[in-house]
Amino acid sequence: MKKENIMVPKPRSAFLSVQCEKCGEKAIVFSHTTTNINCKSCGELLAERSGGLANIYGKVLGALDE
């Protein structure tokens, strides 16, 4: 088997651009975060850790590309 033919799996996690519902501030959050993420301007909870995929409470604008 040639090295060019080996498939590389894509990760299931990504960095997400999230907008705060309360003040509209944008933040970048990891999809499988291990800590709670709060908005820097108003303190609203944006992402809560859950042991796997994080619970996102803001508006997800999209995933960041590599």
Convert the pLDDT of each residue in 9-29 to its tens digit: 888 899 999 999 999 999 999
pLDDT at 5 over 80: no
Closest CA to 49 of 62, 30, 27: 30
Instruction: Look up the pTM and report it.
Output: 0.79
Protein fold of 15-60: N-terminal domain of TfIIb (2.20.25)
Is 43 known as a binding-site position?
no
Looking at residue 1, what is its pLDDT? 59
Residue 29 · residue 38 · CB < 8 Å: no
Is 4 known as a binding-site position?
no
Within 10 angstroms of residue 33's Cβ, the number of other Cβ atoms is: 19
pLDDT at 30 over 90: yes
Is 23 known as a binding-site position?
yes
Distance between CA 64 and CA 42 in Å, rounded?
24
Is 39 known as a binding-site position?
yes
Distance between CA 29 and CA 1 in Å, rounded?
39
